[in-house]
Amino acid sequence: MTTPRTAHRWINWGGNQQSLAVDILTPGTIDQVCAHVKEASECGRKVKAVGTGHSFTDIAVANDQRMLLHRLSDLVTVDGSLVTVQAGMPLSKLNRLLAQHGLAMPNLGDIDEQTVAGAISTGTHGTGAGHSTLASCVEEVKLVTGTGDVLIVKKEDEIFPAARLGLGSLGILVEVTLRCVEAFTLLADERPMPLADVLAGLDEWIPANDHVEFYWYPYTDRAQLKINNRVESNDHPLSDFRGWLDDEFLANSVFGAACRLGRRIPPLVPAISAVAARALTARTYTERSDHVFCTPRRVHFTEMEYEIPRGALPQVLDALPTIVESLPFKVQFPVEVRFTGPDDVWLSHGYGRESAYVAVHQFVGSPYEAYFRAVENVCRPLGGRPHWGKLHYRTADDLRPVYERFDDFVAVRDRLDPARVFANDYLDRVLGA
């Protein structure tokens, strides 16, 4: 799934996007980034910064010059709770560095392989009514604009709500300042339950807990509920064996084998899903926050995720079983549901409202488009907003009505990248050419 950093051919983590770049750029300083962009601007060429390839859309596809930022991945400063890092740093490295300074991100998604730049630029998020996207933790950014100039955007600047989540369309992020929190421990409570019981308890659990999410297993009435809360001490960690058994052997090795079997013999998928749902056992443990939030994902997949107003979740969940049963193929992955609070980032999926996120997946190499389009057709009339880094079929014309600051964002794009040095087909599609 991966290619050498010097290879002109690129394939994303999900295996559904690829490109063949003309040139590979590997700057080691901000000045080198500026020089590359300035030259591209003067010559009418394109530059696309690419992280670790964890987006499923073609947002990172570069057919001219691909810029890799792996050499810009160091810690810059720690000033109390404000931490400045180079934007090519992977979240996994960020989490380790923060822990060494007694700090942590207040919330995270469930994968930590993305770069800081990629995570904030696409709207990566976790779950929790008191949290929103990782972009909401950004206090300042330093980026290289489409003319090759360095621009520092601070919290008080008019374009700050655009620069925090820019889809890579405003410039190349080179440094990001994050507002972090004191390191903390989470108590994780994970248990299988009937889906009806999960849905009946959500209105009580979401406001009463720090982080709530659940998974529904297609072809069954079963779900797995996950609730995480802060606690004072890490006094009930998982044993090494239980951690390996659950997170490596069952969630990756066994699940991967089951997916391969289901892809080869599709009629077995409902039975496999039923066994998986019933085989889950409850567990309660404490651990460092990022170790609870982030889990290893070695089974590759494709994904679409939609944000909808929280009150619309029952309509989407009611439609899912019918969609799954009507497909000409089988669905091998559970459906993930998470919750966030509102933020003021212009292109954040959760801008201005309490949100539910519904994520649908398919095992790598399995058909998915009919499934994803059917789910999108349910979410779209409800005001749904697709995750920028996950598959969807929307365009600028039908995205504009669900983002009240859409035109303001495009105006910032016109200002910072007038020649569209950072454009590609995806950005032209979702923002307009």
Tell me, what's the pLDDT at 277?
Answer: 87
Give the per-residue pLDDT at 6.
58
247-292 per-position pLDDT tens digit:
887 788 888 999 999 999 999 999 999 998 887 789 999 999 999 9
For residues 124, 128, 131 and 132, what is the CA-based torsion angle, rounded to 10 degrees?
40
Between CA 258 and CA 276 the distance in angstroms is 9
Residues of the chain with pLDDT under 50: 1-4
The pLDDT value recorded for residue 249 is: 79
The structure's pTM equals: 0.95
What CATH number was assigned to the domain covering residues 75-182? Answer: 3.30.465.10
Residue 82 has a pLDDT of 98
DSSP string, 354-388: -EEEEEEEEETTS--HHHHHHHHHHHGGGT-EE-T
Length of the chain in terms of residues written:
433
Same fold, 75-182 and 185-386: no
Q: How far is it, in rounded angstroms, from Cα 144 to Cα 150? A: 5
Q: How many CB atoms lie within 10 A of CB 200?
A: 12
> Residue 278's pLDDT is what?
82
Chain centre to alpha carbon of residue 339: 14
- Residue 427: its pLDDT value, please? 98
Give the residue extent of every domain in the chain: 75-182, 185-386
The pLDDT value recorded for residue 351 is: 97
- Residue 341's CB is within 10 A of a number of other CB atoms, namely 16
- List CB contacts of 226: < 8 A, sequence separation 6 or more: 188, 189, 190, 211, 212, 213, 214, 215
- Whole-angstrom CA distances from 245 to 52, 254, 262, 301 are 27, 10, 22, 21
Burial of 401 (0-12, 13-18, 19+ CB in 10 A): exposed
One CATH from 3.40.462.10, 3.40.50.2300, 3.40.50.150, 3.40.50.720 for 185-386 = 3.40.462.10
Within 81-193, residue ranges assigned H as helices are: 91-100, 116-122, 160-163
